[in-house]
Structure 1
Amino acid sequence: MVHTQNSQTPATEQGSLAAPMMIGAGIALAVISFFIFGADNVNPLWGKFWMIRPLIVTPLAGATGGAFYFFMDRMRAKGQINGVLAIILSVLIYIIGLWLGIVLGLDGTMWD
């Protein structure tokens, strides 16, 4: 009779960092687009391409918030932090980061 040894290998982590970052950046892009493309009377002193800066800075801030969620979710999966606490902290950090990204992106134009 042959005995086989059942070795339990740790489960590999599913998902990648790119998915939450893209979701975070997409939400941020939608929010900043609401402000930028809703502007009717733009100041001519802002320049011809004034909207490029907010369209770059704000999604980067949103992607950073998505990355924070990814790392908090990994900590939750490993049992290092409570699940409810991880979600609440992730949402709070994302909202603060999104707000700062909007302020930095619109600084000197709409946020003067």
Structure 2
Amino acid sequence: MSITASTLAAARCAHQVTALDDAAVKEHLAALPDWTIDGGKLARAFAFKDYYQTLAFVNAIAWIIHAEDHHPELAVSYNRCGVKFDTHSVNDGRGGLSVNDFICAAKVDAVFAQRGAS
């Protein structure tokens, strides 16, 4: 079964102790083409019209992040929000990327895709 953004967005995070290897990271990354690897973290920048839209996005993803108990690094400015995921508990606490990072990234993408859709 191939990995897609839809299957990732439908999944739930679970405790991870083993990081994905390079091949698995590449396979998961292919499902999320707007994301990149930056300093060992799964990263994406989101652009908005104004500060209100930026904060509305941050508040919307905060609910998902809390529900999944998998918290990214956020960099918030007037019309941009940078999101970076990694998993601190993998590799004996040395960190790395796990499937949880990709699950949450897909969920964040789904929120972003819904802006203005109502």
- TM-score normalised by structure 2 residue count: 0.30
The structure showing larger relative contact order (alpha-carbon pairs under 8 Å, at least 6 residues apart) is: 2
Of Structure 1 and Structure 2, the greater helix share is in: 1
The structure having more radius of gyration, on CA atoms, is: 1
